[in-house]
Structure 1
């Protein structure tokens, strides 16, 4: 029995193990611990102004925190089936997410600002991710499957003062559930099943060991079959006679059929795991040691494995006779990722007015993958003509990072609330990424192929920061903060190998166990050894005031920063900076049963970093970074309305982006968009386009999410709760090129339904759900292929099709 199946067995065993069933409050779910005081818990649930957040690195009421922050409670995560970082998007104003198939990574955009550079060895996204206050460079490895969470906070706008250099657009802070020393033994578990052979199980339990020590153990497994079926080659491949004619017409034939061989239908994948499959498991063991009221130490270990498959790009217009969710695949999907994480936090209450905290983390993340980059768009006319075989293959990747932060802050009532801190982070990463591209089929001639071998890329980041809030009066507060960050990045011995077109070398796709060199047809196209070193200050000024007893208004100017770095050929790119001007309000109505929070912002971006796979004039491939000149400008409005009372719960989440203009970039290229015009020599690109002033992608003019649920009390004391969730988004571009309908997601509405029955006393519950009720085809990215007849075929990544299932949960 492998570890994945052991985790499944443990979760299922816990779900149905005998034990003392504890009553929970009326809004409890299978992820949150049972209440020891139902009346107090009910008051907290019903009074929304009691929600606390840690956006300022101290616990403060959400409605008294002058920051644009979305607080997502654990019951919302459960009822909305939030399983990954990408699932948060509909719950947060201005947040968009997509996956990158060839690397299997998650990329996030907030307020129109984001990038896909997170798939590189440096992993510097504009939306930073933190778990228990510890920076996680790779969102897909952050708190695997959102296991046993205590809540999620999404901080919108630059958070460069308190949260770090890579939070130019915002930050996502995950808080895991912690052990409870005085709460006794309790636990919860659930299992679920659905279409596409979906199966899920998760469990968590609290174990007090002594008066000073407690443990918490949580486990999860989620799986489903892939959404993308394999197309059969029969009926799509040309006849042997047509193949011979096409081969004779090609330069490779020499005018004879001596080298001809018919296309082998067996090269096309017909069985095994499909693309867009899930097979993920995670385990977390947390401990709390609290020998006195003045000191506590939270320590956890988390293990996450992903044995699913990458997400496949689909033809926007399928070939005649083919299903939409299908593709003609000649590279079988493969994904093998493992993450090991240790997180530690120590808190000392030095006296009644001061606390010292030491926060440290370690993560090792490794992965391999195979992805069909040609996505079966072009059907070959012979084994070596017209079609394209391209396998994007991560042979190996290893990412190791450490981080440490120490901060000293004031506690309790003070005229000036302050915090001082120091941060150190280090990354040591390596990767080998191969791209064989063959003409026709994998048995054809080499179009181009390369191997990108980066044996050691390091990042060292240092920072000093401080922030203070001066209580000018009972109703006015002035906050100022500053951070100085310094980054050293170095590529040691990185080499890009490209095809040398030596006719004496056999033309076969490069194998993972072959090191490229001239003897097997490769030459060095670029040496990437280089070092980047630069520091940058960021700062914040904010004024906030109480508006009567139930309101807050604030105005702020803040800056964010993302470091530059090294790229192919050892060239450097510049750091990017963002200045954000923001005015916001927060109001409480109906004795805490309704809240309404809004913000207006204007962002001015300098040297915005764009990255994309590119082709150089000499035909070699690479990943290029460009700094957008001038100012990239974004302006928008966000609003969140929440209401809870007497069994009714209602949320409205609104975002409008009224300005989203890219700065100056004349030479923008991307291999994902074939058919771009040829570039002048000085651009260092084979093909490119002028994107100056274009709209930013993933930035709809308007986005609105509405969620409503109501409790129907039944005669037996049970409760039936229907839930409706719907999201509307206006049309949005999917790239910086703004190339027309194929490069755009049109306006859409997507809805989810759920019906939950809770047994009297909430000892167990059953939930049925349908997600994407209308089975809408929602694009999250786009690309295009240049066909042999000169036409352009667009492809896209898509959100999941309609899924449905049932869950059963119990309290232990």
Structure 2
């Protein structure tokens, strides 16, 4: 039996096939409304970039936080069509696609283990509610107001704790008294990519308004998939079919009280996530100059098992706010989410193998957050919050709803790893932050957060014919903090520094026939950061420069089981991981010309840690702290290895120029480029096993013609058509999206 199949079986709840969603999903909305947090044009100079992620309206250039903000219009202009494309539009962000979710990392911290029992270190919020931490990551971007990405630990001002950062996706709200306004957009491109989206604001009364937004897209697959006879294999391509909608209501009976509700629904059929063995991507056999007889392009796939990938979900949020006469704000944000994800894969990635995977998993999440926020115009400001989140994964009966089968055609129990049961998780927290203006230009802020988390397994496992019952519970408690100092050196120059800590809960390992493995511990990070933000040329030029150092402890990883390395287990790195580097961003606007760029330089270094690669058949114990008493060759000291999915360098640049034509028309060429340096997919750093993911270079271009409220745009993403490995999982490479191009027609009203 192949080692990687055992590795998958060992972490069944981990669901090593859980990763990112669509390689190509919905286009970002033009967002003609752009609520609240975007730069707005004001002559030659852009307006203030106002962020709301910290529960206040704050000028980003005068706030002690490292963040990037893109409006819906900017997302559209940069060709950011999904969460994966964010990595090419801002520094320090890396997203790796694995099928049913994503591994989202900021500054090398986030989610490097693609499974369900490891929570993510980068929390994604939609309209103030934390979304599913693992599955259903392909929800399309449409009618977006803005996306705010905060880098570094978050927890003293937001609902859920985060070690790497937080992403806030805000959709457009209804506008009371805003009249009937909205937009309609149609598109058509190669691979028969046809899509439509639109939104309409409905002014019901002078205290009530509604907004309806709809999205739909279909696209042929872009893989060339062949079956055992060499004929086209249509059951494994990634033919896309997306349908989503949102209805929002806003009631504001007076200036003090408001109620906002939003309900999203989606049926997301991604067709399949074809993948091929990593070795097929090598032009020569590893370590030799011999041509590889099995070499093929990443988009040329073989398979002999029908594949599928489909998510469906519903999410409702309710936000209630009351402002007192003195400006104190009381806020409640409630979220209820239900989803089902289905994934069917050819596990060996060939037309001759017999290894398959199937799951259909239900997930329910309820969250509740309460805030009391002081007025902004006081020398002392403060925020108090309480937060609760209850998330449950359900692997339905019978066992067939989660099956790893290493000899599918024989249909033998001895070939299958199956499970059914529930994995409920709970996170409760109290948090708060206080700010003190020492002088008009010097502000000290301090905050703290206490978190109590719990994870429970009630799971029945059939491991290759052996029945195992798993009833375990693990709890994790933590106090994290942030202390910052910000100095307005002048009206255009701002300096800040802070120290902050973050926390990620521990979890449970699923048994592998060797008894119940010990739970893995929580991991923590202490981050030190200092930055400079400057405005020049009357606000036309904005710059930021940030340096950071992260002390990362109890890093959670999947390695070979210490006493039986062929199986996998998740545990903690006993040594300290160091991650440090710097970021820089620049933005320039003058007349019709605009330019922006971002850069990240990163170094990561693992502490002393011994482990066995579960992909390599081996025997003998390997203690994580001391190594192997018998000096087994498979027990490797990983000291000094790089953090996974933490490239040493990322860079993005974009520009556009508005060319007036006549009295009311404009021609606008745009270009955007993103580079992500090579990165390691595992801590074992074995290039011969495909661990080194090559660099990614994505060039997007647009040419738009604006005529009044009409806009026609010719677009292209990945213009140079780079075929790159977007992820390595279970010995398979998942390709990033190829070149796509087409035309869009937008009408605003």
- State TM-score, norm by structure 1: 0.80
Q: Rg bigger for which structure?
A: 1
- Contact kept? 2:88, 2:698, Cα under 8 Å: no
Q: Which moved more, 1:188-197 or 1:553-562?
A: 188-197
Aligned residue pairs total: 690
Paired residue secondary structure (1:87): helix
Deviation at 1:312, TM superposition (A): 2.4
Q: Which residue of 1 aligns with 2:46?
A: 48
Paired residue secondary structure (2:157): coil
Q: Which residue of 2 aligns with 1:429?
A: 393
The CA distance in 2 between the partners of 1:366 and 1:472, in whole Å, is: 51
Deviation at 1:731, TM superposition (A): 2.6
Deviation at 1:51, TM superposition (A): 1.6
Match of 1:411 among 365, 369, 375: 375
Deviation at 1:444, TM superposition (A): 9.0
The CA distance in 2 between the partners of 1:445 and 1:178, in whole Å, is: 54
Q: Does 1:651 align with 2:596?
A: yes
Q: Which residue of 2 aligns with 1:106?
A: 102
Instruction: Kindly report which structure 2 residues correspond to 1:150-189, keeping only aligned pairs within 5 A, or say none.
Output: 150-189=145-184
Q: 1:614 to 1:275 in 2, by over 3 A?
A: farther
The CA distance in 1 between the partners of 2:623 and 2:718, in whole Å, is: 48
Q: Which residue of 1 aligns with 2:240?
A: 278
The CA distance in 2 between the partners of 1:633 and 1:41, in whole Å, is: 39
The CA distance in 1 between the partners of 2:322 and 2:76, in whole Å, is: 33
Q: Which moved more, 1:700-709 or 1:202-211?
A: 700-709
Paired residue secondary structure (1:442): helix
Q: 1:538 to 1:784 in 2, by over 3 A?
A: closer
CA deviations 1:496-529 (Å, max 9, x no partner) are 2112xxxxxxxxxxxxxxxxxxxxxx221x4321
Q: CA RMSD in A?
A: 2.7
Match of 2:423 among 448, 457, 470: 457
Paired residue secondary structure (2:205): coil
Q: Which moved more, 1:345-354 or 1:272-281?
A: 272-281
Q: 1:554 to 1:801 in 2, by over 3 A?
A: same
Q: Which residue of 2 aligns with 1:356?
A: 330
The CA distance in 1 between the partners of 2:635 and 2:337, in whole Å, is: 38
Deviation at 1:688, TM superposition (A): 6.5
Q: Does 1:605 align with 2:552?
A: yes
Q: Which residue of 2 aligns with 1:640?
A: 585
Q: Which moved more, 1:750-759 or 1:282-291?
A: 750-759
Q: Does 1:477 align with 2:418?
A: no
CA deviations 1:401-444 (Å, max 9, x no partner) are 11111110111310111101111111122124200102xx7359
Deviation at 1:322, TM superposition (A): 5.4
Instruction: Kindly report which structure 2 residues correspond to 1:508-527, keeping only aligned pairs within 5 A, or say none.
Output: 522-524=465-467, 526-527=468-469
Q: 1:594 to 1:679 in 2, by over 3 A?
A: farther
The CA distance in 1 between the partners of 2:44 and 2:248, in whole Å, is: 30
CA deviations 1:752-782 (Å, max 9, x no partner) are 11111111x2x11111111112111222223
Deviation at 1:275, TM superposition (A): 3.1
The CA distance in 1 between the partners of 2:40 and 2:642, in whole Å, is: 46
Q: 1:688 to 1:451 in 2, by over 3 A?
A: farther
Q: Which residue of 1 aligns with 2:727?
A: 781
Paired residue secondary structure (1:389): coil
Q: 1:139 to 1:68 in 2, by over 3 A?
A: farther
- Contact kept? 1:743, 1:783, Cα under 8 Å: no
Deviation at 1:487, TM superposition (A): 0.9
Q: 1:143 to 1:174 in 2, by over 3 A?
A: farther
Q: Which residue of 1 aligns with 2:22?
A: none
- Contact kept? 1:231, 1:322, Cα under 8 Å: no
Deviation at 1:663, TM superposition (A): 2.4
Paired residue secondary structure (1:89): helix
CA deviations 1:259-317 (Å, max 9, x no partner) are xxxxxxxxxx8443543333222100000000000001110110011111332223314
- State TM-score, norm by structure 2: 0.87
Q: Which residue of 1 aligns with 2:268?
A: 306
Deviation at 1:222, TM superposition (A): 2.4
Deviation at 1:117, TM superposition (A): 4.3
- Contact kept? 1:124, 1:166, Cα under 8 Å: no
The CA distance in 2 between the partners of 1:542 and 1:633, in whole Å, is: 21
- Contact kept? 1:541, 1:556, Cα under 8 Å: yes
CA deviations 1:189-239 (Å, max 9, x no partner) are 10111111111111011001001000000011123222222224337xxxx
Q: 1:677 to 1:690 in 2, by over 3 A?
A: farther
Paired residue secondary structure (1:553): strand
The CA distance in 2 between the partners of 1:771 and 1:203, in whole Å, is: 22
Q: Does 1:204 align with 2:206?
A: no
Match of 1:660 among 594, 598, 604: 604
The CA distance in 2 between the partners of 1:554 and 1:435, in whole Å, is: 51
- Contact kept? 2:34, 2:172, Cα under 8 Å: no
Match of 2:366 among 402, 408, 431: 402
The CA distance in 2 between the partners of 1:668 and 1:560, in whole Å, is: 28
Q: Which residue of 2 aligns with 1:12?
A: none
The CA distance in 2 between the partners of 1:49 and 1:470, in whole Å, is: 26
- Contact kept? 2:31, 2:73, Cα under 8 Å: yes
Deviation at 1:367, TM superposition (A): 1.6
CA deviations 1:626-678 (Å, max 9, x no partner) are 11111111011011111122111111011100x201223312444xxx33654
The CA distance in 2 between the partners of 1:106 and 1:774, in whole Å, is: 25
The CA distance in 1 between the partners of 2:390 and 2:44, in whole Å, is: 43
